[in-house]
Amino acid sequence: MRDTFIKALGELAEVDPRIFLITGDLGFGVLDDFSSRRAHQFLNAGVAEQNMTGLATGLALEGRIVFTYSIGNFPTLRPLEQIRNDAAYHGANVKVVAVGGGFSYGALGMSHHATEDLAIMRALPGVTVVSPGDKWETLCAVRAIAETPGTCYLRLDKSSAGWTDRPGEQFVLGKARQLRNGDALTLVVTGGILGVALEVADTLAQEGLQCRVLSMHTISPLDIQSLIAAARETGGILSIEEHGVTGGLGGAIAESLLEAGVPPRRFYRIGLRAGFSSIVGSQAFLRSAYGMDAGAIAAAARHMAE
């Protein structure tokens, strides 16, 4: 996803001089081409994420479209006050990019585990929150948020579902993509764990359990109509996110459906339930340890369908 993001941003910067990238002293190997070819559209703010966000807001208010770039929680939670008070409150064209959602940087410990960011960022008024599940969604999301007025958050993952686009398909912010059809259950997924969810759906289909799969690449605004249809047409909703269960995708689904008066027949959230993630390891290891791997998702789906 990271490389796809950089490629897409570089292509945008070639044709739009308003595009500007600020890094918090990270991504040098990946950003070398961008910084050398477009030095007038690039700045390294150093290990100073609050300053990075303040600079981005100032540039945005002067007409730039500014992308801030760092890993895990560093571009979101560390400068949260600046995102809220400076960028979002003023509707500035600041596009916050986090590389390493969920357990992408699992071996570096809880400080690098981005497991509360979706809940926090979607709580900010007017902020568009995007969490693509594959490379095509990433490519399209970069272009879409560049064209979307105001502050946006783009959460990228080390894992992905590869390329799941179909001929002629159009990407729309705030509109879920249905990647599998079925009426037994609906798996609503955000982020790179989409690849695991599709694997699970295919396995369950071989067992006769046909599941609808929705890639909910946009958390805010949320595609409520697709969720209402899922609640009415399928046997239940299983939300899947590499994120805490409090306030993220699952919380957004529950809030929206209850408020709409369309509760699903059954509902369960796959996500981090253990509080802070206190162990370290690879992304795959942590998914397994915290009940987010293919086996755990399939078991939850089977139980819901009983």
Q: Is the pLDDT of residue 30 over 80?
A: yes
Which whole number is the average pLDDT over 40-59?
97
Note the pTM of the prediction, 2 decimals: 0.97
Q: Tell me if 192 sits within 8 A of 158, measured CB to CB.
A: yes
DSSP track, the chain: -HHHHHHHHHHHHHH-TTEEEEESS--HHHHHHHHHH-GGGEEE--S-HHHHHHHHHHHHHTT-EEEEEEETTTTTTTTHHHIIIIIITTT--EEEEEES-BTTTGGG-GGG-B-SHHHHHHTSTT-EEE--SSHHHHHHHHHHHHHS-S-EEEEE-S--------TT----TT--EEEE--SSEEEEE-STTHHHHHHHHHHHHHTT--EEEEE--EEES--HHHHHHHHHHSS-EEEEEEEESSSSHHHHHHHHHHHHT---SSEEEEEE-SSS------HHHHHHHTT-SHHHHHHHHHHHH-
Provide the pLDDT confidence category of residue 249 given band limits of 50, 70 and 90.
very high
| Sequence spans of domains, the chain | 2-156, 177-305
Q: Is 154 or 30 the better-scoring residue by pLDDT?
A: 154
- pLDDT reported for residue 52: 98
Please state which CATH number belongs to domain 177-305.
3.40.50.920
pLDDT value for 110: 95
Residue keyed to tokens 């958390």? 219
Assign 105 a pLDDT band (cuts: 50, 70, 90): very high
| pLDDT class of 69 with cuts at 50, 70, 90 | very high
Task: Please write the tens of the pLDDT for every residue from 198-208.
Answer: 999 999 999 99
- Identify the band that residue 114 occupies on the pLDDT scale cut at 50, 70 and 90: very high
pLDDT score recorded for residue 26: 87
Q: Which of 109, 136, 68 is nearest to 276 (CA)?
A: 109
Looking at every residue in the chain, the average pLDDT score rounds to: 97
Q: What is the per-residue pLDDT across 256-266, written as a single tens digit (0 to 9) for each? A: 999 999 999 99
Mean pLDDT computed over 158-173:
95
Give domain 2-156's CATH number out of 3.40.50.2300, 3.40.50.720, 3.40.50.800, 3.40.50.970: 3.40.50.970
Residue 28: band (very low, low, confident or very high) from pLDDT cuts 50, 70, 90: confident
- pLDDT at residue 154, rounded to an integer: 98
Judge if 2-156 and 177-305 fold alike in CATH terms. Answer: yes
Q: Is the pLDDT score of 27 beyond 80?
A: no
